[in-house]
Amino acid sequence: MSVRFITIACLLTLFLFSETSFSQTRPRATDPKLGLVLSGGGAKGFAHIGAIRVFEEAGLQFDYVSGTSMGSIFGSLYALGYHPDTMEKIVRNQNWDFLMNDKIERRYIPIEEKQNSDRFLMTFPIVEKKVKIKTGLHSGQMVDLLLARYLSPAYKTQDFSKLPVPFLCIGTNLGDGANVILNKGVLHKAVRASMSIPSYFVPVDIDGNILVDGGVINNFPVEEVKKEGMDLIVGVDVQTGLHKVENINSIIKVLDQVTSFYRVESNENAIRLTDYYIKPDLEGYDMMSFNDYDTLIKRGEDAARAQLPQLKRLADSINNIRPRIPRILNATPVDSIFITQFRYEGLKRVSKEYLDGALGIKPMTWVHLDEVDESMKRAYGSGFFELINYYFVPNELGAGLVFEITESSSGLFGVGIHYDSDYKVGLLLNATFKNVLVKGSKIFADINLGENPQFRGLFLVDRGKKIGYGLHASGLNLELKIYDGDNIGDIFKFNLYSFGAFAQWTFKNTMRLRVGTRLETNSLRSGFGNPLFDRNFDAHLVSGASWAIDSFNKNHFSTKGSKMNFTIKHLLPLSNDSLDVFSSNALIFAFNYQKNLPVTNKSTYKIGLTAGLTFRDGVIPLAHWFYLGGQSYFNYLEGFIPFIGHRFVEQGGLNEVSLHNAWQYQIFDKFYITPKIDLGIITLDFEDIFHQPEILVGYGVTFGYESFVGPVELTLMGGNRSKGLGTFINIGYWF
């Protein structure tokens, strides 16, 4: 029998004797107080749920709960009265990839931002005309919203000792490295600070102190609970300690190892002070193993269950001394609150009117927490905010609502890289600026360096349903192969430059109506010396309107939603080209529709339809023709239409219709296989579509992987106009 067990037994006997013999003079002073301490450990903290389930089974009732990092999350939930089964449901219902990487559903992102997202390998804020390094990879916006929701039952108190079970958590002061006890204030903000993994999440400002994860120096806060008067400590430690050098094979493990150095002595002291020490076997898992929650919860339960007899004896002994009615664990998030007023803290460059409209919350009304969540996601999705959080201030009528705002930096510099078989290698350099010249404005500037260089610029003032406006400019140099049967008939050096203005209206972040006009010049130069195209130049005024819809749930490997673009444009020649060939007026209609139809959780039928129609009185510039062929899904020109089984822009014409069919199946996490069949008709003259047209048929299969650099795809394909088996390779985000 261990010395520690004998000591605990003697202590409990003394408490029991004191309670029965001296109850009249010291009725409660000798009650043994029981504290629970939950260590940090990232995703390994899911093991706490399983351990808490066993504590409830044993009948333990704690007088104080503390935790660090992930331990602070489950510790605070437990202190508020959440059942471990509810905690498990919360964990299961999260998309941990989205949550930990600040990803937001595309339906909250404005349609222009949708096209600008998921293109960069890395981004850097631009502050005071200088490119800066972020203080964290992620702001933690989605984690903040999750914590604010589930810890909302605590909104009426800022003293954590007044929670159903008193609670504290630990942060680390980034200024002096001090251990900071967080036992008052806004609960969800304190917990968020306690789990602010250095360099991964941005630090949290609480009362002027810049705080990061408490696990940096104190990942197992036993001593702090002892100082609150707890006599006995039950501790669950999900740390794995120092890794062997040969096992440090990821950035996450390097970060874990570095922070572990500073807390070795603190951990050893905490373990000595722990009376019931539970150490789950979490070998093989790390702080980012968020998708392994089933196993981690089970291992936490197994470790605690191994000590169930001792835990039951502990519970029985304390209950004999101090009988208590067991807690009912039925806590749930607050449903709704009567909001008397609200205010913004940190709003500088973004107008109050814009944020009022984005949030859509009015004072002196009942507000559901679901509405607050939706409002926050809409505001965050606008791209104007790096972080936007909230908390309630209770009053006699209900509560005030305070929004804490960190505006996005005035600029952002992004870098992307891409390769595909059609456009070859591309390096993207992007600069994005917001609230320049006009509040609510956005500027996007792209330079694509590669074999087919391109630049694009967009100035936009988006005012939602009210009329917005903007300017755009672009230029590209593109090498186009023109095919004559199986042979290359020519190789054009194609240059296109444009500048224009437009007005637009957007609806619900998914729809946009745009009307505008642009000046466009283009030139062709034949690589084979064809005099018809050698140094050919023309200028046109292009006017028109477009109606766009984008409700895809993902940019790549989407499973829900639709995309549609319907364009009407008129071409007016401003000058005759060098050989007076491309000098025609034209009216062009273009329609492109894509739809995802989920069949099962892993498979999606994807159907697409394109159609193009041209009315003209002569030959129009090649930039406004339609082309079928290739597998590039982000094309330089509107008329480039992917068509499996055929070479890039192999088939050209002025009128077309095509049907695209694909069945996307997720083999396992992030791996996909997609069989495809395309059918199409393309002609120079509209009437030829109905007079024995040649039907193009393409078929193939794409193997895809959703990597951190973007989609990685290999396509094997064939068609009725091609010989043998063709291949297409794509690596990286499209731009």
Q: How does pLDDT run across 359-390, given as a tens digit for each residue? A: 888 899 999 999 999 999 989 988 889 899 99
Instruction: Determine which helix (DSSP H) or strand (DSSP E) holds 205, and give its type and residue range.
Output: strand 204-206
* CA-wise closest residue to 116 among 382, 424, 465, 362: 382
Pick the CATH number of 336-407 from 3.40.1160.10, 1.10.3720.10, 3.10.20.310, 3.40.50.10490: 3.10.20.310
Q: How does pLDDT run across 721-733, given as a tens digit for each residue? A: 888 889 999 999 9
* CA-wise closest residue to 67 among 100, 34, 36, 33: 36
Rounded-to-integer distance, Cα 463 and Cα 472, Å:
17
The owner of tokens 């795809």 is 713
Class at the top of the CATH hierarchy for domain 34-102+138-321: alpha beta
pLDDT band at 251 (very low <50, low <70, confident <90, very high): low
Backbone φ, ψ for residue 266 (5° rounding) = -60, -40
For 638, the 3-state DSSP assignment is coil
Instruction: Determine which helix (DSSP H) or strand (DSSP E) holds 401, and give its type and residue range.
Output: strand 399-407
pLDDT in the model for residue 536: 64
Q: Does 715 score more than 70 pLDDT?
A: yes
Reported pTM = 0.81
* CA-wise closest residue to 502 among 470, 473, 474, 545: 470
Q: Quick check: 670 and 647 in contact, CB under 8 A?
A: no
* Partner residues linked to 286 by β-bridges: none
Q: How does pLDDT run across 279-307, given as a tens digit for each residue? A: 999 988 888 899 999 999 999 999 999 99
E strand map for 451-535: 454-461, 468-484, 487-507, 511-526
Strands 411-420 and 34-38, by their bridges, are unpaired
DSSP 107: G
Q: How does pLDDT run across 552-603, given as a tens digit for each residue? A: 998 899 999 999 999 999 999 987 655 556 667 899 999 999 999 999 999 9
Alpha helices in 287-432 (DSSP H): 293-305, 308-321, 352-359, 369-381
Residue ranges per structural domain of the chain: 34-102+138-321, 336-407, 411-732
CATH topology of domain 411-732: Porin (2.40.160)
Q: Quick check: 275 and 8 in contact, CB under 8 A?
A: yes
In sequence order, the 6+-apart residues with CB closer than 8 A to the CB of 246 are none
In sequence order, the 6+-apart residues with CB closer than 8 A to the CB of 396 are none
Count H helices and E strands in the chain, helices first.
15, 35
